[in-house]
Structure 1
Amino acid sequence: MPSVLTLIAAAPGGLADEALAAAREGLREINATPDAVDWLAPGQAFDLRFEGADPAVAERALRSRFAGSAFDLAAQPAQNRRKKLLVADMESTIITRELLNELAAMTGLGPRIIPITERSMRGEIDFAQSLRERVALLKGLSASLLDRVADLIEPTPGARALVQTMRAHGAYTALVSGGFDRFTRLAAELVGMDEDRANHLVIEGGTLAGRVTEPILDPAAKKSSLLEIADARGIGAGEAAAVGDGANDIPMLLAAGLGVAFRGKPAVAAAAKFRLDHADLTGLLYLQGYHANEFRE
């Protein structure tokens, strides 16, 4: 079965013919046979088809060859690359910020809340319990602060192109977050996603009650959401792409056919089959074989 190696630079002009030659040579060194090249974006991303080696073996060999280079790469079967579903994390993935941290910083609670967030995202503590602890510290704050935080929402470079391009080609898109639905609705609208799921902050008398509605949307619920949405669309999890950066995304990434750690924390990058450390979110489109002239905004 033919396979494909995808190499992606962070910006146009980052890839030259020398990188293609090195990729071909690296494949030959593991007794694979490189075939046709397809430049997905001139000077930025290409697909190189090959046969005769397992994609995982090829990827390890090429990562070693390109160690220290500012390239993202992946090897996978050439068939069925374009996915029919995208499930994405919100904070530090589809949008640039961690919004609970921003709220904490506004209120002087940053030193108490931000370290808990960081430990949770690294997978050092239980996500649901860490969320309860952080939200409890917000008790009594004015709910109007949420509007100030909402004003900070901005899409990550490539986010809208990723969502709109996949939708233009028939995919369904969902934002599934361990954050708060007050923000996921806005972020989903900003990039044009079909639906959003998140936790709900309880507000009483115009102030934050210091708790979220149970059950908490935790790592297991993220995975369940992907499987549920895929089933509702009549597709398998292998036809889904998922992207996230934190440890709470790992089950979701492992369930998807194309599970991508985006600027992932070390545990996430190690667990995910695919990762993007340099390119923006359009890297997920290149991994599916899209050409830059197919991108939509």
Structure 2
Amino acid sequence: MQLQLETSKGNAQHDLIVFAEGLNLEKLFKVQQVLTEWMSFDVFRPGLEMQKGFAVETSVNVLNTEQLQQKLEQVATALQIEIAVLENRPTLAEPGLLLMDMDSTVIGIECIDEIAKIAGVGEQVSEVTELAMQGKLDFAESLRSRVACLKGADEKVLYEVLERLPINPGISALLDTLRHANWKLAIASGGFTYFANYLKERLSLDYAISNTLEIADGKLTGQVLGEIIGAQAKADTLKKLSKDFNLKDSQTIALGDGANDLVMMGQAALGVAYHAKPIVRQQAAAALRFSGADSLLAFLRRK
């Protein structure tokens, strides 16, 4: 099978994008060989170039959608590459909206698990968090049960977690690039305002929404105030912000890692799973499995 590279743009309905730090011709040959049953390829052309890797892309005609996502997952894992077949690709040439989950997406921890560890109920809470992230528990119910475990904890534990919030690799570069392209940047989180509002200021975001922990006399009460920000609320937030900022629906991206993010991803023009659970990777339009969040830029058009 001959592999071709060129600089001109193809005109097929879908684009295949491949990104990796160690991308080479051998890996591209294997991609073509494995996927030839599912799609026909146009010529490859250069895509995004970054310090830590580069992308190539090609126009494809999808011949068979059955188990295509599973096959892409297998190829990505075997070759240690990021790969996606996309029909809808927002462009950097126009304003847009990036709506992100917070815990394990913007930051490298689950805040409630870290609070629970300090409060001495870490194992109990983290087990429920894991089940919720896999979509095996109702999110609102699981959140209330986890927060209830924190009853009586000193509010100082929130600051202890805040002091060492780890921003995930590539987040700052991703936000800088999109901001320069006049995109709006926001967080919609099932986590807590204490952290989301801090990140809104630290990362110069345009908007943040999350859940509010009730605090009385310097102690957590074990209650969440108001309506739970869950899957549907995240999707509604994306729709609302797109309208409020007068943006095209085709210029929206949702980035997340858990089952709670799937409705939001489905609402967006492009849903991207970030170092996510298998159930999320299989249902998202694109996934980042190995690289930093700024590799998402490889999935966007430049014009």
1:54-87 superposed Cα distances (whole Å, 9 cap, x missing partner): 6958965666656511011012247644471000
Identity %: 30
- Over 3 Å counting, the alpha-carbon distance change for 1:218 and 1:132 in structure 2 is same
The AA in structure 1 aligned to 2:233 is: A
- The match for 1:47 is 56
Q: State the distance in 2 between where 1:120 and 1:202 align.
A: 22
Asked whether the 8 Å contact 1:160–1:192 carries over to 2, the reply is: no
Q: CA deviation at 1:103?
A: 0.8
- Over 3 Å counting, the alpha-carbon distance change for 1:39 and 1:209 in structure 2 is same
Asked whether the 8 Å contact 1:247–1:267 carries over to 2, the reply is: yes
The alignment status of 1:202 with 2:214, answered yes or no, reads yes
- Over 3 Å counting, the alpha-carbon distance change for 1:199 and 1:25 in structure 2 is same
Q: CA deviation at 1:193?
A: 1.8
- The match for 2:278 is 266
- The match for 1:294 is none
- The match for 1:110 is 122
Q: CA deviation at 1:138?
A: 1.3
What SS does the corresponding residue of 1:103 show, helix, strand or coil?
Answer: helix
What SS does the corresponding residue of 2:190 show, helix, strand or coil?
Answer: strand
Q: State the distance in 2 between where 1:55 and 1:89 align.
A: 32
Asked whether the 8 Å contact 1:31–1:53 carries over to 2, the reply is: yes
| Correspondent of 1:8 among 4, 19, 24 | 19
The alignment status of 1:89 with 2:89, answered yes or no, reads no
The AA in structure 1 aligned to 2:16 is: L
The alignment status of 1:68 with 2:78, answered yes or no, reads yes
Report the count of equivalent residues: 288
TM-score of the superposition, structure 1-length normalised?
0.87
- The match for 1:166 is 178
Asked whether the 8 Å contact 2:213–2:224 carries over to 1, the reply is: yes
- Any stretches of 5+ residues in structure 2 without a counterpart? 1-10
- Over 3 Å counting, the alpha-carbon distance change for 1:174 and 1:119 in structure 2 is same
The alignment status of 1:246 with 2:254, answered yes or no, reads no
1:102-155 superposed Cα distances (whole Å, 9 cap, x missing partner): 011112111221111111111111111111111112122211111101012111
Q: State the distance in 1 between where 2:201 and 2:215 align.
A: 23
Asked whether the 8 Å contact 1:59–1:74 carries over to 2, the reply is: no
Q: State the distance in 2 between where 1:191 and 1:250 align.
A: 24
- Over 3 Å counting, the alpha-carbon distance change for 1:38 and 1:78 in structure 2 is farther
What SS does the corresponding residue of 1:235 show, helix, strand or coil?
Answer: coil
- The match for 2:296 is 284
- Over 3 Å counting, the alpha-carbon distance change for 1:117 and 1:79 in structure 2 is closer
- Over 3 Å counting, the alpha-carbon distance change for 1:146 and 1:49 in structure 2 is same
The AA in structure 2 aligned to 1:285 is: L
- The match for 1:295 is none
- Over 3 Å counting, the alpha-carbon distance change for 1:118 and 1:52 in structure 2 is closer
Mean alpha-carbon deviation: is it higher for 21-30 or for 31-40? 21-30
What SS does the corresponding residue of 1:68 show, helix, strand or coil?
Answer: helix
The AA in structure 2 aligned to 1:71 is: I
Q: State the distance in 2 between where 1:66 and 1:136 align.
A: 40
The AA in structure 2 aligned to 1:185 is: N
Q: CA deviation at 1:15?
A: 0.5
